[in-house]
Structure 1
Amino acid sequence: MEPVTEWIRHRFPLAENVSPDMVEQWMKENRERLLLLDVRSPAEYQVSHLQGAIRVDPETTNMGELVKTLGLEGSGCQTVVCYCTAGYHGSQMAQRVRSLSTPEQGPEGAASLKVYNLEGGLAKWANERRPLVDSEGRPTSVVHPYNTVWAQLVEPEHRATI
């Protein structure tokens, strides 16, 4: 997993990573200030996702509209964690959202957002046996692996059939 994580870090240098430990802590202690963005397809999201996550299309490029849709404008300091299967789309989205953070936006705009990518994505999360839910909100332990290449990052017992 580490070589893939390093490659993704190099590919998206402006995307700050956050560990699964920290995200799980935030989910328990500061949930009202945390926004989880699942940057995967509807089929992947249906198999499993983090409790309370909002699915965002990986191809979304209109970040201003996304910030408005999610109600992040003027929301004060908000922590946003983007994730996908391994970190590629999560890092890409985190970098796009962070690109809105410019000094001229002031403290009431997207500049007040703290945006991260979940290091290792759901592959690492599931491999560490952390909680996931399916489309019905039921606990599950499997992850849609995106494709056969990324599937190698998910331990077989946590890999959904695609």
Structure 2
Amino acid sequence: MTDSGSTEEGTVSSPGIGMRLCIAGISAKFPSVPNISTADLAQLMKNSSGQSADSGKLVILDTRPEEEYSISRIPGATRVDYTDEVNNILEAVPQLASIDSETKVVCYCSVGYRSSLVADKLNKFFENSGAAPTQPKVTNLEGSLFKWANENRPLVDEKGERTVYAHPYNAVYGKLLNSELRKSFHDNKDAKM
């Protein structure tokens, strides 16, 4: 379920019991949504880094609100609203309309619930579109941004600059994010004053 080892950014440690329970609960709630590990996404990103951004072989969707997205995101991610209907998501991410089974679509949020909602919506849309042999499989990033950040994997802020911080979502789920990585919109606002 988890990978231990090293990344270019540092050592990857196993997630704590809270994160493991959260991942298991989300997987149980969305059994039809496949998960991709943080290590596998990091490898996909490394493999696709030589391709042009619109080559469409890897599409990363951040399903968090703007307040969270502005603090940090996975490099190359496009923000979509998890409450949007599929047509609005397709409008926001035009490359989704012309992808095939070779394309990897990875959704993430803070811990995986909202991104599983989006992955489920998109998978159902693609299944019902009649393009079954060529449809992409949309996945959820296991543990989402919190697990990614806790493993010291790359994040960028709203200016595209490297950061280690992530929005903690709320006081309860924020405990799944290492305390030194937590930063809210209000922290950003205070720093600009």
After TM superposition, the score normalised by the length of structure 2 is: 0.77
The counterpart of 1:17, out of the listed 35, 58, 63, is 35
Per the alignment, residue 149 of structure 2 pairs with: 126
Where in structure 1 do 4 or more consecutive aligned residues deviate above 6 Å? none
Output the CA distance in 1 between the equivalents of 2:146 and 2:160: 19
Q: Name the structure 2 match of 1:6.
A: 24
In 1: Cα distance, 2:111 partner to 2:121 partner:
17
Q: Decide whether the 8 Å contact of 2:126 with 2:132 is kept in 1.
A: no
Matched residue type, 2:172 = V
Q: Corresponding residue for 2:58?
A: 34
In the alignment, residue 120 of structure 1 is paired with which amino acid?
A: G
Supply the distance in 1 between the matched residues of 2:63 and 2:46 (Cα, whole angstroms).
22
Deviations 1:19-39 (A, max 9, x none): 000001111102541011000
The change in CA–CA distance for 1:104 and 1:160 in structure 2 (over 3 A counts) is closer
Q: Which residue of 1 aligns with 2:171?
A: 148
Alignment partner, residue 76 of structure 2: 52
Which structure 2 residues correspond to residues 101-140 of structure 1 after superposition, within 5 A?
Answer: 101-102=126-127, 105-106=130-131, 112-140=135-163
Unaligned runs of 5+ in 2: 1-18, 50-54, 187-193
Query: Which residue of the other structure, out of 96, 109, 116, is the alignment partner of 2:121?
Result: 96
Moved more, 93-102 or 136-145: 93-102
Deviation at 1:107, TM superposition (A): 5.5
Distance 1:154 1:137 in 2: 21
TM superposition score normalised by structure 1? 0.90
Q: CA deviation at 1:133?
A: 0.2
In 1, distance between residues paired with 2:173 and 2:132? 38
Secondary structure of the corresponding residue to residue 143 of structure 1: coil
Call closer, same or farther: CA 1:95–1:151 in 2, change over 3 Å: same
Contact 1:76 1:107 in 2 (8 A): no
Bigger shift: residues 96-105 or 113-122: 96-105
Give, in whole Å, the separation in 2 of the partners of 1:48 and 1:103: 34
- For this pair of structures, how many residues does the alignment match? 159
Deviation for aligned residue 1:120: 0.2
Please tell me the residue identity of whatever aligns with 1:118.
L
- 8 Å contact 2:80–2:92 — kept in the other structure? no
**Partner Cα distance (1:104, 1:146) in 2:** 34
Does the Cα contact within 8 Å between 2:81 and 2:89 map onto a contact in 1? no
Cα RMSD (Å): 1.8
